[in-house]
Amino acid sequence: MEWNKALLIHHLHAGKANRENTLGLVTGVLAPAIHELVVVRTDEPGEGERLCRERGEEFDVVFILGGDGTVHECVNGLVSLPKPPQVGVLPGGTCNDFARSLGISPDAETAAQEMLAGRVIPVDVGRAGERVFTNFFGIGLISDTSQNINENLKGALGKVSYIISTLQTISRSEPFRYELEIDGEWTEGEAVMIYAANGRFLGTNALPFAPDALQDGKLDVLIIHETGIPLMREILSHKPEGEWQPRNESISYFKASTLKIKTDVPMPADTDGELYMETPAELSVLAGHLHFLTGAEE
């Protein structure tokens, strides 16, 4: 695969300690296939989004070197363009869950090689109000976990920090009241977490959603009514073999094209690991809205 003009975005503070070395490796792989390669380092929050919104249409493809947060920011800039470019995700974060959902190698240099030999697929993007998300939108346990993450621990231990944070959060999670409108039908109850997924991975763990989850025009929605380690095991132990049927009554699962979420009090929402929204929220799906480079077809 070759392109006339490409943009490669990397964030100053995103990714692993060897970011500069990784940047050199991926540009070495990509450059021979690109007539003009523009490499831009973003330093401030929101800079990647502005860059993609203002200049995205100049390029045939935009490569994003970073983690899920960097991808989230850039996609929010690309999604509003009348003619968005192709998008290539080069994993450079802690978990790289969206890249995993795309079937891309967690090694950035290998991922760059896959960009050249792979394929382009239309991918759904979730919408939450005026913002979009690639991997998930969640409230309750998931946002509590993000708030509890020790950034120093995250840098030293990577995905282990997410596991530690999750276990700490589980031990003191309190249920909340919710009302949901699922494709026009209302339901209510108590939960410790509501998780609406576009992607198929969380904290590097595969979730039991169908392989076409990124292309089915729907969100996979989990309601966790009460928590505990066995419950997390129930979710993470299933292989994605078609539509999942939970065996535990403390888990509700459904697919939805639209979802309205109300809670008794405003609750912080986690979108792709970023905390800046809160309930109430209205979710929908932009089906096949962006075209992503991915690994070779299995």
Active site residues: 274
Residues 149 and 167: beta-carbon distance below 8 Å: no
Omega within 30 of 0 (cis) for the link into 280? yes
* Tokens coding 229: 């380690």
By residue count, the chain amounts to: 298
One-letter identity of residue 109: E
Cα(108)–Cα(89) distance, integer angstroms: 9
Cα(105)–Cα(112) distance, integer angstroms: 9
* Tokens coding 203: 């904290």
Cα(231)–Cα(253) distance, integer angstroms: 13
The phi-psi region of residue 272 (left if phi > 0; otherwise alpha if psi is between -120 and 50; otherwise beta) is left
* Tokens coding 97: 């869950």
* Tokens coding 266: 């405003």
Tell the residue number behind the tokens 């494709």, with chain if given: 183
Beta strands in the chain (DSSP E): 3-11, 34-42, 61-66, 86-91, 119-128, 131-133, 136-140, 176-182, 185-191, 193-197, 201-202, 205-206, 219-224, 251-256, 258-263, 268-271, 274-278, 281-294
